[in-house]
């Protein structure tokens, strides 16, 4: 299976009205060596690493959550900065693989759906890292996904969003992924969150990315 097979699984799932079912199918195929997870990397996302270094981010035991954690690369980075870290993914197979890949991890890996998180997580985390999960969901789910991510941020807490970008005038993407427009990034500033900075990057290959930081007042 190659990247286009992941596209096929996604297309089947979306056609069946199930926008998230393909993630676990893909991770299960990958677990038996029959698929490649296109976003699989061992290193944490460079935009996360640069941000934590530039702002000298240190957890000091405060709580962090990583949304749609996949195999756990970003969660391990965050836990390494002394955050008490929860990381969740809708795919139980991904969560099991994350635990296996990081047997000595301090991260609390959980299978959970962004749209149905435990009530105790509401406003529960001092740092929320959302990297490339909202963009993996269809546009019609974007407002709900954006709001659900923001709900996780505690008073005084920070949300970091990393996502592929599209121009405001670009045609609506067919997806997945569904890159975010500037307006869709700005939309994270809702439910009491305010923007701290919104940065735009362009890879040498021309891929646009957002890195955006939001804060909830203490």
As a whole number of angstroms, the distance between CA 147 and CA 126 comes to 16
Minimum CB separation from ligand SAM for residue 65, in Å? 11
As a whole number of angstroms, the distance between CA 49 and CA 66 comes to 14
Nearer Cβ to ligand SAM (136/159): 136
* Residue from 59, 68, 157, 179 in contact with ligand SAM (CB under 6 A): 68
Q: Is 133 in the site for ligand SAM (CB under 6 A)?
A: yes
Residues between 21 and 60 with contacts to ligand SAM, criterion CB under 6 A: 23, 39, 45
Which one of the spans 7-15, 77-85, 113-121, 186-194 is the region binding ligand SAM (CB under 6 A)? Answer: 113-121
Enumerate the β-bridge partners of residue 180. Answer: 165
Which one of the spans 70-78, 149-157, 180-188, 207-215 is the region binding ligand SAM (CB under 6 A)? Answer: 70-78
Cβ atoms within 10 Å, residue 194: 11
Q: Is 91 in the site for ligand SAM (CB under 6 A)?
A: yes
Q: Is 101 in the site for ligand SAM (CB under 6 A)?
A: no
Q: Is 114 in the site for ligand SAM (CB under 6 A)?
A: yes
Q: Is 10 in the site for ligand SAM (CB under 6 A)?
A: no
Q: Is 132 in the site for ligand SAM (CB under 6 A)?
A: yes
Binding site for ligand SAM (CB under 6 A): 20, 23, 39, 45, 68-70, 73-74, 88-91, 94, 113-115, 131-133, 136-137
């Amino acid at each position: 299976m190659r990247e286009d097979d992941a596209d096929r699984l996604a297309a089947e799932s979306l056609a069946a009205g199930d926008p998230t079912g393909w993630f676990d199918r893909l991770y299960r195929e990958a677990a038996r060596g029959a698929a490649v997870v296109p976003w699989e990397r061992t290193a944490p996302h460079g935009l996360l690493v640069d941000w934590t270094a530039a702002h000298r981010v240190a957890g000091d035991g405060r709580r962090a959550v990583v949304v749609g954690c996949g195999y756990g690369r970003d969660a391990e980075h965050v836990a390494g900065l002394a955050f008490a870290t929860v990381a969740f993914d809708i795919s139980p197979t991904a969560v099991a693989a994350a635990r296996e890949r990081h047997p000595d991890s301090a991260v609390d890996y959980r299978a959970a759906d962004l749209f149905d998180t435990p009530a105790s997580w509401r406003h529960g985390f001092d740092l929320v890292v959302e990297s490339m999960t909202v963009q993996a969901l269809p546009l019609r789910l974007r407002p709900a996904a954006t709001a659900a991510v923001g709900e996780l941020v505690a008073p005084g807490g920070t949300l970091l969003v990393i996502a592929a970008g599209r121009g405001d005038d670009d045609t609506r993407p067919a997806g997945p992924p569904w890159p975010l427009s500037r307006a869709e990034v700005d939309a994270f500033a809702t439910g009491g969150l305010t923007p701290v900075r919104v940065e735009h990057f362009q890879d040498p290959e021309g891929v646009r990315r957002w890195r955006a930081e939001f804060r909830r007042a203490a």
